[in-house]
Amino acid sequence: MGLLSKKDAKLITDPLTDNNPITIQVLGICSALAITAELKASLVMGIAVLFVLGIGNVVISLIRNIIPSKIRIIVQLIVVASLVIIVDQVLKAFAYELSKTLSVFVGLIITNCIIMGRFEAFALGNGPWKAFLDGIGNAFGYAVILLIVGFFRELLGSGTLFGVPVLGDPIEKTGLYSTGYENNGFMLMPPMALIIVGLIIWVQRSRNEALIED
Amino acid sequence: MGLKSNLHNLKEKYKGKKMAPAFNAIHTFLYLPNETTHNGTHIKVADDLKRTMNTVIMAMVPCLIFGMFNAGYQHHLALGTIDAAHGFLGSSFWTWDNLVIGIWKVLPLVVVSYGVGLLIEFIFAVIKGHEVEEGYLVTGMLVPLIVPVDLPLWMLAVAVAFGVVIGKEVFGGTGMNILNPALTIRAFLFFAYPTWMSGDKVWVHGAVERAGTADAISGETILGSYAQSQDVVYNYADMFFGLIPGSIGETSKLLIIFGALFLIFTKVGSWRIILSTIIGALAMGLIFNGVVDAGIITSNSKFYGLMSVPFWQHLIIGSILFGAVYMATDPVTAAQTNKGKWIYGFLIGFISIMIRVFNPAYPEGVFLAILLMNVFAPTIDHYVVQGNVKKRLKRVKVKTA
């Protein structure tokens, strides 16, 4: 990668694997549980967080030297809230149905621990370019887990992917359904998302023992 | 040379190899091994784990056999080909025809339950390099007893795989689990495939295929009828002896009581838990009866049907007794302290009846209540132990003062 130095590239790749915000830092779980019943919602949520975290990190990084440290949380909240309002309005204008599905969880991006965590831990102490890379890196790490969970939940729970039936028609009993297969209703419930995230954590830690804390 | 010495030679030959646990498992499954369990659950139950497991299985066998006859009996009765058997020894109950249907429907469930469960135990034993644990023997027997007779086998297989991995292996295998694996399996089935686990079609063999046709048959459970405030067609004797639709093994209260006595006599099951669960259920039933008597809930309320059930009748409908005897007493997931067992059991009974009455969507709340209390059992123990520590410290202080 000529564009990025090795150190910069690590800012993006680390959150995807060994420092993943969801599976390693265990942040941002609430939205991962709530909206991953559909792959489409997972994707949009991932993009929304990518936008908010990428730009938010840059903004915070730019003004990091003029924020009084006593009120920095409030400043961070204002930045993230403004960005989330933009996302929310765009969704309402161009993807109304989807914004209904995501409902309150778009607004709740404000309280997503990943965002405040990156602002506090990274953007306040690093330059804009690095902060940007860190922001999109973490947002990608978040989105990847959301998409994996969403893939399994939608495929096994509804028999569709991105709303397209892939296993046949459950009512007409075509495709896989003609053999007696049925959709798994448990997959559509939030507890199953927690279990899938847990399984991902299990697989990840058993492949890389360095990740296991005492 | 017999099979045993053959297996023993194999065991010696593969010692230290990767597949050793798989061979040892067959050996220990068929014969008494030369060494007994040396860690895990037997610290809590001062007995060889395998003997404990076998005792529980023996206590369940009558329920299974009765369940087979009952599966056929309910099927034929719903079709109208036989008359109702009056009483436990009714002539139309213990017939060959009933048993054939029962074997045909129930045995595959047993086979799939054991096959899938033991396969996963084998895989984990080989990966982790430890001996296969006997823990699945009881779970594998419990599972067919607590599912509807017409449950598709692949669903059972998926659920067993889920239950054994998530309910047990992730916590470290037999003796480490927080949740009862058999109930984890049932909970998975219940939430994943609700149309196969509840309603009025699943409890009698053949009802699902016939639904919507001219030959439709219905087999509403007693709880289901009460929840919808319908008339119940079964008398108390039917409920007690178990000539009613329901999950395969939980209908006959008589045999469950025999099983309970057997478990208590052999000191495998805790009488404290069984008794306190029953007390808890009766207490909640009495409270509901009181509410109805006080006129707070009238017959136009949707809770009226189950609330007005006489408190003692809650024990002979649904699976509260089965849960109390075979599920709540699981030594791994129950509370360990004697005082804790009273609290644990009481709350199981109490919450079971509460869920039963208040949530018509879950007409059987016993498995949810037990799972919930499984989670709380360590907390209960913690406070009981802390209470003891405090009491004794006080005594020491008084002496020294």
Q: Average pLDDT of B212-231?
A: 64
Task: Note the pLDDT of residue B386.
Answer: 93
Looking up tokens 């017959």, which residue turns up? B299
Interface test with B, best of A152, A182, A203 (most B CBs within 10 A): A182
How far away is chain B from the Cα of A184, in angstroms, using its nearest Cα? 5
pLDDT at B105 exceeding the cut of 70: yes
Q: Average pLDDT of B213-227?
A: 65
Q: Looking at per-residue confidence, does B275 or A8 come out higher? A: B275
Q: Name the band, by pLDDT with cuts 50, 70 and 90, for residue B397.
A: confident
Does an H or E element contain B381, and which?
Answer: helix B366-400
**CA proximity to A41, closest of A98, A125, A120:** A98
Q: Which residue of A has its CA nearest to B188?
A: A186
The reply to whether the predicted model has a pTM over 0.90 is: no
pLDDT > 90 in chain A, percent: 0
Other C-beta atoms closer than 10 Å to the C-beta of B257 total 14
* B300, B246 contact by CB (below 8 A): no
Task: Note the pLDDT of residue B247.
Answer: 83
Contact yes or no for B191 and A195 at CB 8 A: no
Alpha helices in B199-337, H assignment, sequence order: 207-210, 222-227, 236-241, 253-265, 271-293, 304-307, 320-322
How far away is chain B from the Cα of A189, in angstroms, using its nearest Cα? 9
Q: Average pLDDT of A131-157?
A: 88
* A102, A45 contact by CB (below 8 A): yes
Q: Which residue of B has its CA nearest to A182?
A: B193
In A, residues 15-34, which contact B (CB 8 Å cutoff)? none
Interface test with B, best of A186, A194, A204, A212 (most B CBs within 10 A): A186
Q: Name the band, by pLDDT with cuts 50, 70 and 90, for residue B26.
A: low
pLDDT at A7 exceeding the cut of 70: yes
Between CA A53 and CA A142 the distance in angstroms is: 11
Give the tokens for residue A7. Answer: 């150190």
Taken in order A89, A95, A100, A102, is the CA torsion positive or negative? negative
Task: Note the pLDDT of residue A1.
Answer: 46
CB of A97 within 8 Å of a chain B CB? The answer is: no
In B, residues 163-182, which contact A (CB 8 Å cutoff)? 166, 170
Q: Name the band, by pLDDT with cuts 50, 70 and 90, for residue B280.
A: very high
The tens digit of pLDDT for each residue in B62-87 reads 888 888 888 888 888 877 777 777 76
Contact yes or no for A186 and B155 at CB 8 A: no
How far away is chain A from the Cα of B388, in angstroms, using its nearest Cα? 31
CB of B152 within 8 Å of a chain A CB? The answer is: yes
Q: Average pLDDT of B137-156?
A: 87
Per DSSP, the three-state class of A161 is strand
In sequence order, what are the residues at sequence separation of 6 or more whose Cβ sits closer than 8 angstroms to the Cβ of residue A82?
Answer: none
Between CA B83 and CA B88 the distance in angstroms is: 14
* B325, B345 contact by CB (below 8 A): no
Nearest to B194 among A180, A185, A195 (CB): A185
How far away is chain A from the Cα of B188, in angstroms, using its nearest Cα? 7
In this prediction the ipTM stands at 0.80
CB of A185 within 8 Å of a chain B CB? The answer is: yes
Q: Looking at per-residue confidence, does A194 or A6 come out higher? A: A194
Q: Looking at per-residue confidence, does B36 or A128 come out higher? A: A128
Other C-beta atoms closer than 10 Å to the C-beta of B174 total 24
In B, residues 180-199, which contact A (CB 8 Å cutoff)? 188, 191-196
Biggest alpha carbon–alpha carbon distance for chain B: 85
* B156, B113 contact by CB (below 8 A): yes
Q: Name the band, by pLDDT with cuts 50, 70 and 90, for residue B159.
A: very high
In sequence order, what are the residues at sequence separation of 6 or more whose Cβ sits closer than 8 angstroms to the Cβ of residue A72?
Answer: A124
Q: Name the band, by pLDDT with cuts 50, 70 and 90, for residue B373.
A: very high
Q: Average pLDDT of B264-269?
A: 84
Max avg pLDDT among A92-96, B16-20, B174-178, B238-242: A92-96
Mean pLDDT of chain A: 83
DSSP state of B299: T
pLDDT at B27 exceeding the cut of 70: no
How far away is chain B from the Cα of A185, in angstroms, using its nearest Cα? 4
DSSP state of A64: T
Give the tokens for residue B376. Answer: 């709380």
Alpha helices in chain A, H assignment, sequence order: 6-16, 29-34, 39-62, 72-94, 96-102, 104-107, 113-121, 128-158, 190-207
pLDDT at A3 exceeding the cut of 80: no
Q: Name the band, by pLDDT with cuts 50, 70 and 90, for residue B389.
A: very high
Q: Average pLDDT of A199-212?
A: 81
Distances in whole angstroms, Cα of residue B293 to Cα of each of A126, A185, B232, B287, B357 = 71, 39, 21, 10, 16
